[in-house]
Amino acid sequence: SEPVEGFKHALTQLFEGTQEGITEENLQSRARGTILMAISNKFGSMVVTTGNKSEMSVGYATLYGDMNGGFNPIKDLYKMQVYALSRWRNSHVPPGALGPSGEVIPKNIIDKAPSAELRENQTDQDSLPPYPVLDD
């Protein structure tokens, strides 16, 4: 993306002769976090953080990236609980709920292998144990 390439260009001289790795991968998350915070600030809204208890317990997050936000509604849920809650929400509409009924979280999102999506074909299990093991 253009913002990520801008950061890489700004760091080219400093990083010259070093091997590309997680630092460059995290630029994507940090660029996204900066853009979301700017939009939030401009329009008086709040960025919602997406880290769950499983990821946070092992530091599987990018500071100033996906950790950006003013509120985290899933911070006390383990990853497998997030999946269970997602499936439950798709099959239930609580009485008096104002949101839409039916599938609100696409099944392909729930069924997809978890990934930080910072490099091609990356899955969380490249760096972490399977979530059922991590959550235990």
- Confidence (pLDDT) at 39: 97
Q: Is the dihedral of CA 75, 48, 46, 106 positive or negative?
A: negative
Provide mean pLDDT across the span 94-116.
90
pLDDT band at 1 (very low <50, low <70, confident <90, very high): confident
What pLDDT, on the 0 to 100 scale, is given for residue 77? 98
Is it the case that residue 108 has pLDDT exceeding 90?
Answer: yes
Angle ∠(84,32,65) on CA atoms, nearest 5: 70
CB neighbours of residue 102 within 10 Å: 7
Percent of the chain at pLDDT exceeding 70: 100
> CA 33: distance to chain centroid?
10
Instruction: Assign 78 to helix, strand or coil.
Output: coil
Q: What is the pTM of this model?
A: 0.84
Task: Show me where the domains of the chain are located.
Answer: 2-135
Please determine, for residue 34, whether its predicted confidence score (pLDDT) is greater than 90.
yes
Least confident of 1-5, 45-49, 84-88, 107-111: 1-5
**Residue 113 pLDDT class (50, 70, 90 cuts):** very high
Q: Is 116 exposed, middle or buried (0-12, 13-18, 19+ CB in 10 A)?
A: buried
Per-residue pLDDT tens digits for 40-82:
999 999 999 999 999 999 999 999 998 999 999 999 999 999 9
pLDDT number for residue 97: 85
**Mean pLDDT score across all residues of the chain:** 93
Domain 2-135, second-level architecture: 3-Layer(aba) Sandwich (3.40)
Distance CA 4, CA 25 (A): 9
